[in-house]
Amino acid sequence: MSAQPAIINNNSTGNLTHLIAKGNTRLSVETNKEWFTYVVSDFPKRLTDFHGNEVDSDSIVSDEIEIQTGLTPVDIRQARQFSDNPLTKGLLVSFLKPTKRFWSLFGSSAARLVDKTNRLRQCEACWGYHFARSCYRQPVCQRCGKTGHSTGDCAAPEQCVNCLGPHQANFDKCPDRPKRVRGVLRRLTKEQRGHVRTVRAEAYRQRQRERESQLESHQEAHNDTSEPQGEDGVSQDQPSVRAPSPAVSGAPSCIMVATTPQIGYEAEEEPEHPRPGSPRKR
């Protein structure tokens, strides 16, 4: 029995899954191709034939699209209705290449190509890459990636919550940020993201070591400038205290008090009433 290939749409981002049946084994190969999606507004919810009988719109919409565009749609799904008319709805129609002319379906508005240039959205609560209205994760700081405080109150070093690198979470060149390839946003695989986070976490630690080294050098330089040295290399913060010299103070350097006569000397007594010219009595 020959293999019977089939193509089904995996999701609305342009992923096509090719299923090949071989015996009892089914091989699934997923490929990424760019889709060109058009929004069709005011498409009638109820279609009738010439006799007024309601017909199944799903069975004829694909044929009508191919007649109008010359292309086979790869995906048709209901979209949010942009008008207030309860009798109409919106459709999203995707092709593998753009249409060459304007087209509409059963009196609807002209189909309009969906602009995908600004489709990437980053949640401002957890800073993941998705719509914030559908986020139930715990809010984290944009600056440091931690919980429990707001970005305005954060003074911690910058660290991305996505790649763990030394930058804020909204950095447009973050290696974990999804990139557009041929019109399709590509996210990193689990293995790729793990490798990026390992490398960028080491870059963050290296930045921290450099920052600490700079702080230590700055502190040492501050300590050196706070202690000025004199010409002889002696610190001038605590000048030495010296005793004043005798010449400056005017006081004798040493005072001796004799309490007994020294040996070899005898004190001379003055006469009580000396008379000039009178002989000394013997």
Q: How far apart are CA 109 and CA 40, in angstroms?
A: 6
Of 20-29, 195-204, 210-219, 272-281, the one with minimum mean pLDDT is 20-29
Contact 31, 37 (CB under 8 A): no
Domain ranges in the chain? Answer: 1-33, 35-113, 132-204
Dihedral angle, C-alpha 63, 67, 69, 71, nearest 10 ° = 60
| Residue 164 CB contacts under 8 Å (≥ 6 apart), including other chains | 145, 197, 200, 201, 204
Which residues have C-beta within 8 Å of that of residue 184, sequence separation ≥ 6? 13, 14, 32, 33, 34, 35
Q: Residue 55 carries which side chain, given as an amino acid letter?
A: V
* 38-47, 66-75, 91-100: least confident range: 38-47
Residue 189's closest CA among 178, 199, 181? 178
The arithmetic mean of pLDDT across residues 84-100, rounded, is: 79
Higher pLDDT, 84 or 157: 157
pLDDT of the residue at 274: 52
pLDDT in the model for residue 177? 93
State the pLDDT at residue 84: 65
pLDDT in tens, 267-277: 444 444 555 55
Specify the pTM: 0.42
Lowest-pLDDT range, 6-10, 198-202, 213-217? 6-10
Q: What is the mean pLDDT of the chain?
A: 73
Q: Using 50, 70 and 90 to split pLDDT, how confident is the model at 166?
A: very high
Summarize pLDDT for 243-267 with one digit per residue, the tens: 555 554 555 555 555 555 444 444 4
Task: Encode 162-194: b = buried (16+ Cβ within 10 Å), e = exposed.
Answer: bbbbbbbbebeebbbbeeeeeebeeebeeeeee
Residue 238 banded pLDDT, cuts 50, 70, 90: low
User: Is 210 in contact with 198 (CB distance < 8 Å)?
Assistant: no
Mean pLDDT, residues 214-223 = 82
Residue 261, helix vs strand vs coil: coil
Confidence of residue 32 (pLDDT cuts 50, 70, 90): low
